[in-house]
Structure 1
Amino acid sequence: MVFKPRFESKELKILRILNNRMALTEDEKKHYHNLKKGFEGEVQFDFLTEQLKSNCYILKDLLLKVNSNSFQNHTVIIYQDILNLFEVKKFENELIYKTDKLESLSGKEYQNPLYQLRKNTLYLRQLLQDLGFNLPIKGYVVFINPEFTLYQSPPNEPIIFPTQLKKFMKKLNSRPSKLTNKHKILAEKLVSLHNDVHHIWFCLSINLRICVKDQLVGLVTHSLFLYVIKNLFVMIVGPWSGSTLLFCEVC
């Protein structure tokens, strides 16, 4: 049962609009395309989890915080006696597994997603304890792209490759599970703690540059700013040429 659906993040929506309206820097373009590719991979994994018939709660794209540490969980599945955490990656081409990183054949380095998985598992376990739950957590990294190859991957790591997904999902589907009201309370609590506001600050820094442009050539529209500053800022339209100013309600 899907308890929390997945939607495009505000950050991705904003960056798509900005990409059509202004020249993003190379780092901003890279960040945008990584977000876009990541979301596509997560949706592919959703297609598989939504076919599960076992008694479970599926929570997608949870942005949580514990002890001042924010962490994103691509997919969380709550069963009777265990909680599964999934880090979904849509890597392309061929990479080589190293202990502390992944590396392309040309030498370009990528963060090992197992590091992110272990960190998220630790944070989520701390959060569950703070909430008074003692459900064990088992995490997996899922490589969703069927054209991806990872060389020298150790067999004992919790990694699910595309060729293993069908068998893995069948295993999940056959898992005995009987959820109680306590599991529902946990799912509701995790959803209530979901917060994606911190993603807005990256986009806000971009929009501040647009605001300067707007005073000269009028590029910014109200709808664009409303995406960025919803619930955080109000807009003031200046008396000169419809320019848009930014005003913080808190300040």
Structure 2
Amino acid sequence: MAIIKPLNPSHQLQLLRALSVRKEFSLDEKQYFYLLLKGYEGEKRWREYLNGFPSEIPILFDLTLKSNHTIFQVDALMVHQHHITLFEIKNFSGNFTIKDGHWYHSNKEIKNPLIQIERNQTLIRQFVDQHHLQLTFDYLLVFVNPEFMLYDSKPRKNLILPPQIPNLIRNLSQMRHTPTTHHTKIIQTLLTHQTESPLFVIPKYTYQELAKGLFCNKCRNKMERKANRVICPTCKSQCSLENALLDLIHDFSILFPALKVTNQVIFNWCNGIISKSTIRRVLLNNYSLKGSGRGIYYERK
């Protein structure tokens, strides 16, 4: 496949992930973070399904667009010859039921995801007309988690269940695509009209209250240094000292974008686990040196 816009975790998810290991979340904050994380894991699963696609088929992930002053998001989009296919990815797990148009999980009513699809269909149609794009489209709701079960006898053309995914992939991969200037216009229009996601509420925090040190990317517990590697005593995962330090610096920059990255700042942020000489070496290898004297700081290359 030709990935025109790659899949990356949202800024919101990166911030909450960096914060979650350093501060105790409330129950609501934990649930919201879990929903974001599970959604992203579902989108990654969908990307893996698409790995075998022909290289000439353009695919864009994680689009944020605006139509008639309304912001909407598209998890993934595929450009065919005279048609585009949009995907809303759901990573639901467990047993779900539809009764009289209402969705239920564990005997509790949930938001109907098909309503979101209908809303986005209207918005993407307006977007296409507004920018004079000559094309048709369909919008599919794809459930990627194999542990998802939907009890409903009524077939729906735009709803794809886990067992139907292999057949969908085969059909989509066989659709012809010969690049033209029209395709270039479609892709450029989508990319140049990306907009900022709506402002989101994040837990309040200060530098002083956050836990310092190195944290495991898998289980999120504190890691320990062993020679030139860091090891998680809980799940036994490990990585190089440099990769652990780069993750640490990334989290700091996400949490405190207004603060400059300096040797001393990162030394304090890792709680002194990594020496200043090692921090300096990693920064020089991966960041650009700015300023002079005591005003030296680093920016990502």
TM-score norm. by structure 2 comes to: 0.68
Cα distance in structure 2, aligned partners of 1:26 and 1:101: 27
Using the TM superposition, give the Cα deviation of residue 143 of structure 1 relative to its aligned residue in structure 2, in angstroms.
Answer: 0.7
The residue aligned with 2:118 is 118
Matches within 5 A, 1:14-163: 14-53=15-54, 55-104=56-105, 106-163=106-163
Would the alpha carbon gap of residues 55 and 21 (structure 1) be closer, same or farther in structure 2, given more than 3 Å must change? same
Contact 1:77 1:85 in 2 (8 A): yes
For 1:229 and 1:129, the matched residues in 2 are separated by: 41
Do the aligned partners of 2:71 and 2:197 also contact (CA within 8 Å) in 1?
Answer: no
- TM-aligned CA distance change 1:135 to 1:142, over 3 Å: same
Partner of 1:240: none
How many correspondences in the alignment?
Answer: 222
Report the Cα distance in structure 2 between the residues aligned to 1:122 and 1:228, rounded to whole angstroms. 36
Is the Cα–Cα contact under 8 Å of residues 54 and 177 in structure 1 kept in the other structure? no
In structure 1, the residue matched to 2:201 is 202
Q: After TM superposition, give the deviation of residue 169 of structure 1 in Å.
A: 0.6
Which residue in the other structure is 2:297 paired with?
A: none
Whether contact under 8 Å (2:60, 2:78) holds in the other structure is yes
Distance 1:153 1:18, change over 3 A: farther
Pair 1:8 & 2:9 matched? yes
The alpha-carbon deviation at position 144 of structure 1 amounts to 0.5
Instruction: Give the Cα–Cα distance (whole angstroms) in 2 for the partners of residues 210 and 27 of structure 1.
Output: 16
The aligned residue for residue 249 of structure 1 is: none
Structure showing greater radius of gyration is 2
TM-aligned CA distance change 1:31 to 1:100, over 3 Å: farther
Conserved in 2, the CA contact under 8 Å of 1:54 and 1:173? Answer: no
Mapped partners of 1:52, 1:142: distance in 2: 17
Contact kept, 8 Å, 1:75 with 1:86, in 2: the verdict is yes
| Structure 2 CA distance for aligned equivalents of residues 224 and 146 of structure 1 | 32
Q: Measure, in 2, the Cα distance between the counterparts of 1:99 and 1:86.
A: 25
Q: Does residue 189 of structure 2 align to residue 189 of structure 1?
A: yes
Q: Distance in 2 between matches of 1:153 and 1:179?
A: 40
2:209 maps to what in 1? Answer: 219
CA 1:130–1:25 in 2, change beyond 3 Å: closer, same or farther? same
Contact 1:85-1:137 within 8 A present in 2 as well: yes
Structure with the greater relative contact order (CA < 8 A, sep ≥ 6): 1 or 2?
1
| SS state at 1:177 partner | coil
- What RMSD, in angstroms, separates the aligned Cα atoms of the two structures? 2.3
Pairwise CA distance, 1:37 = 0.6
1:160–1:32 Cα change, 3 Å = same
Alignment identity in percent?
A: 28
The residue type paired with residue 178 of structure 2 is K
Q: Given residue 64 of structure 2, which amino acid in structure 1 is its aligned partner?
A: L
Secondary structure of the structure 1 residue equivalent to 2:132:
coil
Whether the aligned pair in 2 keeps the contact of 1:55 and 1:79 (CA below 8 Å) is no
Distance 1:23 1:142, change over 3 A: same
Structure 2, unaligned stretches of length 5 or more? 213-248, 261-301
Q: Which residue identity lines up with residue 191 of structure 2 in the other structure?
A: V
Paired residue secondary structure (2:89)? strand
Shift of 1:219: 2.1
Q: Which runs of 5+ in 1 are unaligned?
A: 237-251
1:100 Cα deviation from its structure 2 partner? 4.0
- CA shift digits 1:191-217 (9 cap, x unpaired): 222234435x322xx2xx324xx5xxx
**Structure 2 SS opposite 1:21:** coil
Distance (whole Å) between structure 2 residues aligned to residue 21 and residue 172 of structure 1: 43
**CA positional deviation for 1:22:** 1.6
Q: CA deviation at 1:66?
A: 1.5
